[in-house]
């Protein structure tokens, strides 16, 4: 076997037993029928599973199938439609769990692997490269999802909820969407954001989030500007769009501004910003934000509001 194949096989071996198929059943005319299928992965030995909210929402019953063919009934622990993340549980112990990695230090161009159940073909593997990090994606119902990873890994219906892993076999994202009619455009939610959301879903079953109304993208800051202002990080958050009448628009933020600090903390990734917004502590309070606008450093206050439910 060639060395490239060995890398892929080794990475898949580390996580494949944690990947599950999720079938959603609903009642129709007093009969139960399957209404959709997706993927997920076990992340704790007691049977907690991460997946997409749209895979499990409105289910009458969830059936979870492991790689060895074992089947279990899944129960929803928590669901957050805003970020399209859900946690379900199968009851038992000793399950093989995937190792959660870090998405904040990913590099565009690195090799990634997607595992899932596209079109019902269980435990299918596809590979690609990371094409973009820290993007904002608009969901089919119109709301914004942050900390999105873009790749060219082949995905199809049924991949949703499955893991995106790196060559070390660690999960770096949850596969969540493809754009119909396009090629080489697939999207996943960065695992840094997933871990923050999961913490609240496990504890409370729901997540309260602050809303800014920003469309963002991670970028490198020019070394000359970084050195002139003695910035400690070489990355920032580029504002590529704003929602009308949003807190960001009312604060006079503009497209092209680069966020370098938020609420006293340095932000170098979309995941960093998301951590500040989760939990509701800053809702309706003035928050100091530092930006780069062209070649100037500006500071201003922004007043986040509670994000309405999707």
CATH code (residue 155)? 2.40.10.10
The last residue of a domain, from among 183, 204, 225: 204
pLDDT at 272: 86
pLDDT at 131: 92
Helix and strand numbers (H, E) in the chain are 6, 20
Q: How far apart are CA 178 and CA 111, in angstroms?
A: 19
Do the domain assignments include residue 8? no
Q: How far apart are CA 268 and CA 128, in angstroms?
A: 25
CATH code (residue 246)? 2.30.42.10
Pick 160 or 271 by higher pLDDT. Answer: 160
Pick 143 or 25 by higher pLDDT. Answer: 25
pLDDT at residue 140 is higher than 70: no
Q: What is the pTM of this model?
A: 0.87
Q: What residues are labeled active site?
A: 54, 84, 160
Across the range 140-169, mean pLDDT stands at 88
From the centroid of its chain, how far is CA 80? 12
Q: Let me know whether 214 and 200 are in one domain.
A: no
Q: How far apart are CA 259 and CA 287, in angstroms?
A: 13
Q: Let me know whether 244 and 223 are in one domain.
A: yes
Across the range 152-180, mean pLDDT stands at 89
Do the domain assignments include residue 22? yes
Nearest Cα neighbor of 267 from 247, 291, 250 is: 291
Q: Let me know whether 62 and 127 are in one domain.
A: no
* pLDDT above 90 coverage of the chain, percent: 60
Mean pLDDT over the full length of the chain:
90
The last residue of a domain, from among 204, 237, 258: 204
Instruction: Find the range with the poorest average confidence among 2-11, 82-91, 118-127.
Output: 118-127
pLDDT at residue 309 is higher than 70: no
Domain range spanning residue 169?
Answer: 111-204
pLDDT at residue 108 is higher than 80: yes
Q: Which of 144-160 are b and which e, b meaning 16 or more Cβ less than 10 Å from the residue's Cβ?
A: bbbbbbbbbbbbbebbb
pLDDT at 90: 96
pLDDT at 289: 96
Q: Let me know whether 189 and 239 are in one domain.
A: no
Q: 3-state class of 199 per DSSP?
A: helix
The number of distinct structural domains making up the chain is: 3
pLDDT at 288: 96
pLDDT at 77: 94
pLDDT at 310: 55
Do the domain assignments include residue 141? yes
pLDDT at residue 43 is higher than 90: yes
Reported as a single tens digit per residue, the pLDDT across 232-262 is: 888 899 999 999 999 999 999 999 999 999 9
Max distance between CA atoms of the chain, in angstroms, equals 70
Nearest Cα neighbor of 177 from 18, 275, 39, 60 is: 39
Q: Let me know whether 223 and 274 are in one domain.
A: yes
pLDDT at residue 110 is higher than 90: yes
Most confidently predicted of 106-115, 152-161, 212-221, 276-285: 106-115
Confidence at 179, pLDDT banded by 50, 70, 90? low
Q: Let me know whether 61 and 144 are in one domain.
A: no
């Amino acid at each position: 076997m060639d060395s490239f194949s060995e890398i892929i096989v080794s990475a898949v071996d580390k996580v494949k037993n944690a990947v599950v198929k999720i079938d959603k059943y609903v009642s129709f005319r007093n009969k139960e029928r399957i209404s959709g299928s997706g993927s997920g992965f076990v992340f704790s030995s007691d049977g907690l599973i991460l997946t997409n909210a749209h895979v499990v929402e409105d289910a009458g019953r969830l059936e979870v199938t492991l790689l060895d063919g074992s089947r279990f009934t899944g129960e929803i622990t928590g669901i957050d439609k805003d970020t399209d993340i859900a946690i379900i549980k199968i009851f038992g112990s000793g399950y093989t769990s995937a190792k959660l990695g870090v998405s904040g230090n990913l590099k565009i161009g690195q090799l990634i692997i997607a595992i899932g159940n596209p079109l019902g073909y269980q435990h299918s593997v596809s590979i690609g490269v990371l094409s973009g990090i820290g993007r904002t994606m608009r969901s089919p119902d119109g709301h914004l999802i942050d900390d999105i990873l873009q790749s060219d890994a082949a995905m199809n219906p049924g991949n949703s909820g499955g893991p995106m892993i790196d060559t070390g076999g660690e999960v770096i994202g949850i596969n969540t969407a493809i754009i119909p009619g396009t090629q080489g455009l697939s999207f996943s939610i960065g695992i840094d954001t997933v871990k923050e959301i999961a913490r609240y879903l496990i504890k409370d079953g729901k997540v309260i989030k602050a809303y800014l109304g920003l469309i963002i993208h991670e970028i490198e800051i020019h070394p000359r500007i970084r050195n002139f202002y003695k910035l400690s990080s070489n990355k920032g958050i580029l504002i590529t769009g704003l929602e009308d009448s949003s807190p960001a628009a009312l604060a006079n933020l503009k497209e092209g501004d680069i966020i370098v600090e938020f609420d006293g903390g340095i932000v170098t990734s979309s995941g960093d910003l998301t951590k500040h917004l989760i939990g509701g502590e800053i809702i309706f309070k003035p928050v100091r934000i530092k930006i780069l606008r062209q070649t100037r450093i500006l500071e201003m206050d922004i007043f986040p509001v509670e994000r309405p439910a999707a």
